[in-house]
Chains A and B, each alone.
Chain A
Amino acid sequence: MRGTRNRLWLAGGLVAVLGWPSVAVAAATVTGTVTFAGKPPALKPLAMDAEIVCHKKHGSKPAPNEALVLGNGNTMAHIMVWVSKGLPAGKTWPAPKDPVVLDQDGCVYKPHVMGIMVGQTYRILNSDGILHNIHTLPKINTAFNRGQPATVKEMTTTFPKPEAIFQVKCDVHPWMSAYISVFTHPFFSVTSTDGKFTISGLDAGSYEITAWHEKLGTQTASVTVTGNETKAQDFKFAVPAK
């Protein structure tokens, strides 16, 4: 694992040097807002009475269900948006030095949806100070399944292979769930409650952009960018009619 990671760094470094001019000029950006169409359903909150520590942490009002989180104007959080087609073949991107952080706070994974690059450090924190068990359920990468006792505040791992979105669960607290996707490139973005995503640093060209929601599936759109313009591309999700 460490080996591949170093090789990626090296490759990344080379690309950065050789492709410097192109990187400098090409800074096209795709941005947009994801909104929920129609009347949002009422989802029942997470029941975590089983874990008294977390139950207390959430105080009087129970932890909200994470499946559908909306901002005002029904803007959707927890949407993964990424460039799914059109990236130059054979080109590689360095994995950023700073890790992707997953915190376990109040028996809830923060963030709920996250993207990570191949070989990038995945840092798992335990702010609850109780026993958690992080269990990733990938199909391609090898599963990471390890207990994190109260006193172990931090663990790290990496994902050696690119893989589409898969789930992360806690074998101690069944309601805890997060989603992660492993990319070879940095052109992905996850919306927060304002529903906004931004994918920047793209070369000129036409791309396919995919947006994903854990329950409502995926949507794709194709955009063509030139030079360093900024294109807008919105997405709308709706509960499929039965």
Chain B
Amino acid sequence: MSEPVDVAPKPHVAHEVHHEELGFWRKYVFSTDHKVIGIQYSVTGLLFLLFGFCLMMLMRWQLAYPGVPLPLIGSLLGEARMPGGTMLPEFYNELGAMHGTIMVFLGVVPLAVGGFGNFVVPLQIGAPDMAFPKLNMLSYWSLFLGGITMLGSFFVPGGAAQSGWTSYTPLSVIAGTGQTWWLIGMIFLITSSLLGALNFITTIIQLRAKGLTFMRFPFFVWAQFVTAFLLLLAFPPLEAAGVMQLMDRVAGTNFFLPSGLVVSGQALTNVGGGNPLLWQHLFWFLAHPEVYVLILPGMGIVAEIIANNTRKPLWGYRSMVYSLIFVGFMSFIVWAHHMFMTGMGTTMAAFFQTTTMIISIPSVVILTALIISLWGGSIRFNTPMLFAVAFLPMFGIGGLTGLPLGLNIADIPLHDTYYVIAHFHYVVAPGTIFALMAGIYYWYPKATGRKMNETLGKIHFVGSLVCMNAIFMPMFIIGLAGVSRRLFDAGAAYAFAQPTMHWNVVSSWGAWTLAIFQIPFIFNFFWSIRKGEKVGDNPWQATTIEWSAPSPPPHGNFVHAPQAYRGPYEYSVPGAGKDFVPQYEA
């Protein structure tokens, strides 16, 4: 993954010549500069998103045309996976598990937190770099190792992990070698996130520019701040759980293996006494905050872009910040709403569905504030803004369809159906990923000194918006018809699933078309590095501090240490000379 080299360096050279001289490797590969690391994270993240997307497109073929040999590609994947092009259930399970793992832990998180966090946060708070640059490099390379391990697991005998991205026990304990690799990979990824998180928190607290009080933070910084705390405190339990599952698999312990477990007619000889639910608790103790790790940075990006392109201050900035903090806090005590089906009693079910309903309120506050922020603005519909605005309804659909799942009674029929898939994909795919796309278009000029092409951007946007809905809207229908997720044939074997089969075809074609609409983006991304329209330091007439740095910023970011004189969103201030008053201008 030396791609970062193609993206970052060129512009940098100019600035760093008359700076300290570093060799190629120190400057672009093992760099401690938060901007280079940020770009490394972003490109890694984007590549893994693409890879996870490819896994999903393979699955979509099997779901649309169960058992039909896949032309061309199918035969390339080998007898053990797709004999004669027909997908074996085991391979489908591999794809399912790895699609989830890769999209969440190697795609969105590295891009949203590692990428945007690293590149933007220090700039937005007027810091010369992250608080611990070496640690920063370490956490990237730890992620990199984790990614390699995950990819490698596809080639071990028996293939990659097949127990779903949640790796529920005891199934995952008795599963094949791939699961062990999955666990080792996860431990690398977790370490990476922990180091990154404590670095972000320290940076934000300590390296704020003079005058940049917490309530003068851009919303994006707040989002990253809360996210970092979620990562810092929610990830360790999963690390512990990972170690325990590793012990179960390697050292033959029984943390997650109950007594008297029978596998295909044969009783296991282990002593048992473990608790399979323990894994689910520890897993969801991370994985629910993780949901907010996926969405909060997205919200942050959207807030920045909306304020900038409506040329208005954010409506209810403070209430948004407090909601954010509240969401972060609550997200630690709602996790068992993923476990209503595990036979918990009514008392705890009531407790967790209450906390779940409570946590939905601040999310709605944030979304509402963002929507009201549009009101009466003179909106500039450039590509970043289009993605940002599209985020609102998409995330809205995802969020609202989540409420029934938070209620014990409604969750029981819907649990583990395609309805759930549709729900969280609306949050993450057209939600978070649109926000991230917006962010890429928005901060690209800061990273390269050039804008991405608008026309290509708009094509990318319209195509993606249509396709995303074509993919996920049908899943609500399929799910409400009661079809379970994780069926390797989309339920073709069941009579009751027959009426929904054609919706899978729609969904699949949506997915493949979506792939086509990413081509303009990929082209645009690389083409604009050299050919994009040259722009100044502040192409969007934005107010936040990162735009006071040269584009691209040199090593050390700012020519003079910046200072914050006012809040982040002073747009269209009555009586001001121009329609925006930057934070950094006295």
- Asked if A169 lies at the interface with its beta carbon under 8 angstroms from chain B, I say yes
Q: If the complex has contacts A131-B493, A155-B83, are A149 and B264 also in contact, measured as CB distance less than 8 A?
A: no
Name the one of A135, A152, A154, A167 contacting B88, with C-beta atoms under 8 angstroms: A152
Q: How large, as a class, is the contact surface on chain A?
A: 10 to 19
Name the one of A135, A149, A154, A174 contacting B89, with C-beta atoms under 8 angstroms: A149
Are B265 and A147 in contact (CB-based, < 8 A)?
no
Q: If the complex has contacts A151-B67, A151-B68, are A169 and B88 also in contact, measured as CB distance less than 8 A?
A: no
- Asked if B90 lies at the interface with its beta carbon under 8 angstroms from chain A, I say yes
Which residues of chain A in 162-216 are interfacial with respect to chain B, using CB atoms and an 8 Å cutoff?
167, 169, 171, 174
Q: In the complex, what distance in Å separates the CA atom of A131 from the CA atom of B89? A: 10
Name the one of B84, B264, B266, B489 contacting A152, with C-beta atoms under 8 angstroms: B84
Name the one of A131, A137, A147, A148 contacting B264, with C-beta atoms under 8 angstroms: A137
- Asked if A236 lies at the interface with its beta carbon under 8 angstroms from chain B, I say no
- Asked if B513 lies at the interface with its beta carbon under 8 angstroms from chain A, I say no
Are A149 and B88 in contact (CB-based, < 8 A)?
yes
Q: In the complex, what distance in Å separates the CA atom of A167 from the CA atom of B265? A: 10
Which residues of chain B in 68-96 are interfacial with respect to chain A, using CB atoms and an 8 Å cutoff?
68-69, 83-84, 86-90
- Asked if A146 lies at the interface with its beta carbon under 8 angstroms from chain B, I say yes
Are B264 and A135 in contact (CB-based, < 8 A)?
yes
Are A169 and B265 in contact (CB-based, < 8 A)?
yes
Q: In the complex, what distance in Å separates the CA atom of A145 from the CA atom of B175? A: 11
- Asked if A150 lies at the interface with its beta carbon under 8 angstroms from chain B, I say yes
Are A150 and B67 in contact (CB-based, < 8 A)?
yes
Q: If the complex has contacts A149-B86, A152-B88, are A174 and B493 also in contact, measured as CB distance less than 8 A?
A: no
Interface of chain B, main secondary structure: loop
Residues of chain A contacted by B88 (CB below 8 angstroms): 146-149, 152
Q: In the complex, what distance in Å separates the CA atom of A167 from the CA atom of B87? A: 26
Which residues of chain A in 74-130 are interfacial with respect to chain B, using CB atoms and an 8 Å cutoff?
130
Q: In the complex, what distance in Å separates the CA atom of A26 from the CA atom of B241? A: 63
Name the one of A131, A147, A169 contacting B90, with C-beta atoms under 8 angstroms: A147
Q: If the complex has contacts A137-B264, A171-B264, are A152 and B83 also in contact, measured as CB distance less than 8 A?
A: yes
The number of residues on chain B lying at the interface, defined by a beta carbon within 8 Å of a beta carbon of chain A, is: 17
Residues of chain A contacted by B84 (CB below 8 angstroms): 152
Are B86 and A152 in contact (CB-based, < 8 A)?
yes
Residues of chain A contacted by B66 (CB below 8 angstroms): 149
Are B67 and A137 in contact (CB-based, < 8 A)?
no
Q: In the complex, what distance in Å separates the CA atom of A154 from the CA atom of B79? A: 11
Q: In the complex, what distance in Å separates the CA atom of A135 from the CA atom of B488? A: 18
- Min CB–CB distance A128 → chain B (angstroms): 13
Residues of chain B contacted by A169 (CB below 8 angstroms): 264-265
Q: In the complex, what distance in Å separates the CA atom of A155 from the CA atom of B88? A: 11
- Min CB–CB distance B31 → chain A (angstroms): 44
Q: In the complex, what distance in Å separates the CA atom of A53 from the CA atom of B489? A: 18
- Min CB–CB distance B62 → chain A (angstroms): 10
Are B86 and A137 in contact (CB-based, < 8 A)?
no
Q: In the complex, what distance in Å separates the CA atom of A154 from the CA atom of B88? A: 12
Are B265 and A174 in contact (CB-based, < 8 A)?
yes
Q: In the complex, what distance in Å separates the CA atom of A238 from the CA atom of B563? A: 96
- Min CB–CB distance B237 → chain A (angstroms): 32
Q: In the complex, what distance in Å separates the CA atom of A157 from the CA atom of B157? A: 14
- Min CB–CB distance B494 → chain A (angstroms): 12
Residues of chain A contacted by B265 (CB below 8 angstroms): 137, 167, 169, 174
Residues of chain A contacted by B67 (CB below 8 angstroms): 149-152
Residues of chain B contacted by A150 (CB below 8 angstroms): 67
- Would you give the 0/1 interface string for B474-498, flagging 1 where the beta carbon is closer than 8 Å to chain A? 0000000000000011000100000
Q: In the complex, what distance in Å separates the CA atom of A8 from the CA atom of B87? A: 32
Most buried by B among A148, A151, A155: A151
> Can you identify 8 A-B contacts, CB atoms within 8 angstroms?
A133-B89, A137-B266, A146-B88, A146-B90, A147-B89, A148-B88, A149-B86, A151-B86
**Chain A: residues with CB nearer than 8 A to chain B?**
130-131, 133, 135, 137, 145-152, 154-155, 167, 169, 171, 174
**Chain B: residues with CB nearer than 8 A to chain A?**
66-69, 83-84, 86-90, 264-266, 488-489, 493
**With contacts A147-B488, A151-B69, A169-B265 known, what are 9 further pairs, Cβ within 8 A?**
A135-B264, A137-B264, A149-B66, A149-B88, A149-B488, A149-B489, A151-B67, A169-B264, A171-B264
Q: Which 10 A-B pairs have the closest CB atoms?
A: A151-B67, A147-B89, A151-B86, A135-B264, A171-B264, A152-B86, A149-B67, A169-B264, A152-B83, A150-B67
